[in-house]
Structure 1
Amino acid sequence: MASKKYLLLAGAMSLLASTSFAQVKPNLDVLDSSKVAPSKMAQFNAFKNHQSDYPAKPRDMWELGFHGGYHMIIGDVSSRPGFGGGLSIRKSLGHIFSIRGEYTGSFDYGMDYKMRPMTASTVGGNPWAATAAANGGMIVANYKTATHQLSLNMIASLSNMLFYKSQPKVNWYVFLGYGIMAADVDVDALDGGAAYDYSTVDFTGKRKDIKKRLKDFHDGDYEQNAPSQGNRVTIGRNDDNQLLRHALETGTGISFKVSKRFNIGVENKITLPFDDYLDGYFGGASDQNKDFINYTSLRLNFNLGNSTKRVEPLWWLNPLDFVYNELTAPKRMKLPTPVLPDADGDGVTDQFDREPNTPAGAPVDVNGVAKDTDGDGVPDYKDKQLITPTYCFPVDADGVGKCPDPECCKNIPANTCATLVLPSVSFKGSSTKVSSDNEAILASIAASLKANPSCNVLVTGHAGEKAKKGGVDLSSRRVDAVVDYLADKQGIDRGRFIKQNTPGDAGTVDLAPAN
């Protein structure tokens, strides 16, 4: 029978292991005061305010369980399949230890496959006397035992302290506890009112065949109390046959999480009542002959409690989860203000600065490299011609290009100053800055002046039609901006320019040959 029991256990565990269960991330935040009991708030506040290194234990749910499965007595008499079932309530003491109260009721059966000597009862007479007398002092021992058992177990979870994942979806555990058991043991010792005569039964062949013949031979009434000793009360199917026994319990189990509210488990429990009469037969005074109970059960467990005020039972939560999350996304950790060096003061830290020695005030890009707007190889802070047309490359050390003479102007006679036509430069609003559009215009003017080195230029600004207050000053500054650009950026001699201000369109500066 033991082999069948372990085959059943292995099959149930394989079925559960092969099923896909949902893994749910734990809802445990040690900084969430709604999950903390009032009695723990002092510790919670001390932890939150960095006055304590340890968080308060959160309130967690209770677990209500229902169980049922294969129940059998391991004793002197060969057992037959029995059934047990009941319910339990469990509460955590911490992430590892929890305590469980449980009720288990059962029916157990047993019958020998051979005849053995009768053993006398020490209490309540001997129900086997008539059958033993009819069979030369030999009997075929059998029993039907009904038990009621209350137990209190301390459980240790072995699989929720995880270093490489957030939370467990499988909970392995072991337990040890105390139980008190009431057992009603009855035997089928008579065929109605007469003794059994086993001379007609064939005891040869395979064990299972012999047991089948004996099962068919007996009437199955279990009409008499089994022999027993010790404490007894008048409760049970037959009066004066209820044994009361203390018991030691131990076992192991595994649970599989289905959701935050429900899990399925398989458990094997051994109960040691230190009694040799659970199977109705006294095998001897030695402790090795004491009977014990083995119970393999399937368990359905439900978590009870308000999820807004309680977390899952703590054996389903990894206590290291908060620590790892704090390393990734700190919520409580005090982090110092980072000090990042920037040797050249350009706003890009040395760690990312590709040009860590740019002069103070030099414009740089996001990588800390000095800007070179026209791409001529001379950084802007050195470039005297900020926008150099590409056809004027290469440039000199100051970033000034050497623009070739236009094809149309290569053969212009030297005395063509009077016919030279130069464009005007426009300014917007009150601006005095040469825009990028104007830079291209002034570059073409510079090219014409370089092609005609003998020509001077009249630079005329306009103060407006009525020469409003301030208009002359604005006009003068625009004239100066044009002359400065042609001289500083394009290399035209300042002595070639003649400046004047007249009424007219205040937004333009006109250039014309002065010769």
Structure 2
Amino acid sequence: MASKKYLLLAGAMTLLAASPGFAQVKPSYDALDSSKVSAKNMAQFNSFRNHQSDYPAKPRNMWELGFHGGYHFIKGDVAALPGFGGGLSLRKALGHTFSIRGEYTGSFDYGLDYQKKVNTVGGAYNATANRNGFIVPAYKTATHQLSLDVIASLSNILFYKSQPKVNWYVLAGYGIMMADVDVDALDASGAAYNYSGINFGGKKKDIRDALKNLHDKKYEQNAPAQGNRVQIGRKDDNQLLRHALEVGTGVAFKVSKRFNIGIEEKLTLPFDDYLDGYTAGAYDGSKDFFSYTSVRLNFNLGNPNKRVEPLWWVNPLDFAYNELTSPRRMKLPQPVLPDADGDGVTDQFDREPNTPAGAPVDSHGVAKDTDGDGVPDYKDKQLITPTYCQPVDADGVGKCPDPECCKNIAPQVTCASLVLPSVSFKGSSTKVSSDMEAVLGSVANTLRQNPSCNVLVTGHAGAKGKKGGVDLSSRRVDAVIDYLADKQGIDRGRFIKQNTPGESSTVDLAPAN
């Protein structure tokens, strides 16, 4: 029976792995996307984006709701017949490797032995033993089980691929179960079964078929137990309450960003030898346990505009490898080449290798002479001398007044290089939190050092005209500007307000020049 089960399991896995649909899915996650970061992790996000931290913030990720069903049986002292189980689960990632799953499983398990056994349990089997001198155990076990498992994913951190399409995992956890164990020891008339017509020396299949025809499958009596029975409102007050250890392994195949199909094998060990209503005796050290081979249909729950897929489907190396191909955050080091005079032109191309420090040079390393008067710019006190005022003296000054159009023009301040952080709000709040006040304090310092730079303050009004979104977004934008103007003394005229669509709890700041 076990060999057929594993053959069926292998066939199902092969079919799922061969499906062409699994190769078409590529999840995306951008570590620089603030909309996927919770308010409590926004400070780390800003530190990472501004090169103050090497590690990105953990993104919000979806929950997984699962439905499962499959082959269930008890490995014990009595030969098992096919049973079945089913239930539902809820799973949440703790990180990219570990996750936690709560689960309910209901099951029906059956067993009918094919050989004579000594009546070591008494009770319901006494009449059968008195009549035949032996018993043939037959049972039905109905179980309700709640479990909490820790799952370790083995295949989502990939060095040679992007996102995982198959996820292998192992699990271990704790369960609490209620089991109702009943036995079929009497025939339809209420008398003990008579096994005199059964040839127990024949083939196993023939013995089993004869016993199936003899038994009425009523399971009319409570099975004996080693104690701890509690009334919970089911048949004959015959319920066992047991703690259990769970171990297992499984594999899931991604169909889409919202759905995956899994196959799992889980063993439940309640440390009880009466789950099949029979024990081999006091000297039998073995205990009964449950085996559950299930097919699982799993659905990811959550807003994709605010959450990424469950982290066991996200390869944490993907962002780092993409940075190597198309850098957006990475600071690239300057190449180190010989440059004796430090003018930025390497010695092999420098036509004037002894240019004084700080002197502006052209692409050949020659000191610049902007007005062509023979005096290099680093010595020229009149940088642009008209030709009609030349020749010039040793300081590069001509013999005519310096026209207005030729005065040195101070370089303009460049604001586009400024990097300003985002400000997050919790729920429907419009008040700047104490954490975000510290962030805005650093923004104010930057603006004081760059007095000519203006700021674009962008709020997000919600997707598809969400009711109240524009008003909430505007009030948050005003709260940020009020704090910078009233508390930090920044001129209100330097702010430009803007509202855009998008599901986000942040207000973004960016240079407007």
| Mapping for residues 229-268 of structure 1, pairs under 5 Å | 229-235=226-232, 237-268=234-265
Structure 2 counterpart SS, 1:271: strand
Matches for 1:469-484 after TM superposition, within 5 Å: none
Counterpart residue number, 1:179? 175
Match of 1:195? 192
Q: How does 1:325-344 map to 2 (within 5 A)?
A: 325-336=322-333
Post-superposition Cα deviations, 1:353-374, rounded to whole Å, max 9, x if no partner, equal 9xx99xxxxxxxxxx9xxxxxx
Q: Which amino acid letter does the alignment assign opposite residue 103 of structure 2? A: E
Following superposition of structure 1 onto structure 2, how do residues 104-119 of structure 1 map, counting pairs within 5 Å? 104-119=105-120
Query: Match for 2:293 among 267, 292, 296?
Result: 296
Show the counterpart of 2:155: 159
Partner of 2:58: 57
**1:133–1:64 CA distance, 2 compared to 1 (3 A):** same
Pair 1:170 & 2:171 matched: no
Query: What TM-score, normalized to structure 1?
Result: 0.64
Give the SS at the match of 2:305: coil
Paired residues of 1:160 and 1:317 also in contact (CA < 8 A): yes
CA distance in structure 1 between the aligned counterparts of 2:299 and 2:27, rounded to whole angstroms:
16
Q: How far apart are the structure 2 equivalents of 1:34 and 1:84? A: 41
Partner of 1:2: 2
Corresponding residue number in structure 2 for 1:449: none
Once the two structures are TM-superposed, the CA of residue 120 in structure 1 deviates from its matched residue by 2.7
Structure 2 gaps of 5+ residues are 352-363, 365-513
CA distance in structure 2 between the aligned counterparts of 1:11 and 1:228, rounded to whole angstroms: 39
Answering whether residue 93 of structure 2 is matched by residue 92 of structure 1, we say yes
After superposition, give the CA deviation of every residue in 1:118-173 in whole Å (9 maximum; x if it has no partner): 1235xxxx01111111012x111010000000000000000011011111100000
Mapping 1:28-427, distance limit 5 Å? 28-121=29-122, 126-136=123-133, 138-192=134-188, 193-235=190-232, 237-285=234-282, 288-336=285-333
> Could you list the per-position Cα deviations for residues 412-469 of structure 1 after superposition, in whole angstroms to 9, with x for gaps in the alignment?
xxxxxxxxxxxxxxxxxxxxxxxxxxxxxxxxxxxxxxxxxxxxxxxxxxxxxxxxxx
The amino acid across from 1:171 in the alignment is N
Question: What is the identity, as a one-letter code, of the residue corresponding to 1:154?
Answer: V
The SS at the match of 2:124 is coil
Larger Rg: 1
Q: 1:187 to 1:323 in 2, by over 3 A?
A: same
Q: AA paired with 1:214?
A: L
* Cross-structure match for 2:394: none
Conservation of the 8 A alpha-carbon contact between 1:65 and 1:299? yes
1:320 corresponds to which letter in structure 2? L
Question: How big is each residue's C-alpha offset from its partner over 1:367-424, in whole Å with a ceiling of 9 and x where there is no partner?
Answer: x9xxxxxxxxxxxxxxxxxxxxxxxxxxxxxxxxxxxxxxxxxxxxxxxxxxxxxxxx
2:107 maps to a residue whose letter is S
Report the Cα distance in structure 1 between the residues aligned to 2:127 and 2:339, rounded to whole angstroms: 107
Q: 2-side partners of 1:73 and 1:120: how far apart?
A: 18
Deviation string for 1:300-343 (max 9, x for gaps)?
10000000000000000111111111111111111246688999
**Is the 8 Å Cα contact of residues 73 and 83 (structure 2) preserved in structure 1?**
yes
Distance in 2 separating the partners of 1:273 and 1:177: 12
Deviations 1:215-240 (A, max 9, x none): 11011110000011221112365322
How many pairs does the alignment contain? 348
Partner AA of 1:133 in structure 2: N
SS at match of 2:57: coil
Cα distance, 1:277 vs. partner? Answer: 0.4
With over 3 angstroms needed to count, the CA separation of the structure-2 counterparts of 1:278 and 1:48, relative to structure 1, is same
Q: Is the 8 A contact 2:121 2:278 kept in 1?
A: no
Measure the CA separation in 1 of the matches of 2:282 and 2:306: 56
Secondary structure in structure 2 of the residue aligned to 1:324: helix
Q: Distance in 1 between matches of 2:194 and 2:173?
A: 45
Say if 1:66 and 1:87, in contact at 8 Å, map to a contact too: yes
Q: Does 1:18 align with 2:14?
A: no
Deviates more, 1:16-25 or 1:90-99: 16-25
- Which residue of the partner structure matches residue 424 of structure 1? none
* Mapped contact 1:127–1:226 kept (Cα < 8 A): yes
Tell me the SS of whatever aligns to 2:141: strand
CA distance in 1, matches of 2:283, 2:250: 31
Query: Secondary structure at 2:235's aligned position in 1?
Result: coil
8 Å Cα contact 1:144/1:187 also seen in 2? yes
Match of 1:395 in 2: none
**C-alpha contact (below 8 Å) 1:22/1:259 kept by paired residues:** no
Is the contact made by 2:119 and 2:125 (CA closer than 8 Å) also made in structure 1? yes
Give the whole-Å Cα distance in 2 for the aligned partners of 1:215 and 1:236. Answer: 30
SS of corresponding position for 2:115 = coil
- How many angstroms apart in 2 are the aligned matches of 1:191 and 1:236? 26
Give a deviation string over 1:34-91, Cα, whole Å, max 9, x none: 0001111111111111111111100000000011000000000000000000000000
Q: 1:287 to 1:119 in 2, by over 3 A?
A: closer
AA matched with 1:145:
T
Letter in 2 for 1:5: K
- The corresponding residue for 2:399 is none
Q: Distance in 1 between matches of 2:282 and 2:233?
A: 26
Instruction: Say if 2:120 and 2:281, in contact at 8 Å, map to a contact too.
Output: no
- Say if 1:224 and 1:238, in contact at 8 Å, map to a contact too: no
**Aligned-partner Cα distance in 2 for 1:285–1:55:** 59
**Distance across 1 between alignment mates of 2:284 and 2:151:** 27
Q: How far apart, CA to CA, are the structure 2 residues paired with 1:309 and 1:320? A: 21
Secondary structure at the aligned position of 1:298 is classed as strand
1:108 is matched by which residue type in structure 2? Answer: D
In 1, distance between residues paired with 2:183 and 2:28? 55
Output the CA distance in 2 between the equivalents of 1:260 and 1:71.
30
Root mean square deviation, CA, Å: 2.4
Distance in 2 of aligned mates of 1:104 and 1:162: 33
Kept after mapping to 2: 8 A contact 1:23/1:257: no
**Residues 270 and 292 of structure 1 are in contact (CA less than 8 Å); yes or no, is this contact kept in structure 2?**
yes
- Cα distance per residue 1:258-314 (max 9 Å; x no partner): 110011110000000000000000123457420001000001100000000000000
Counterpart CA distance in 2 for 1:246 and 1:99 is 19
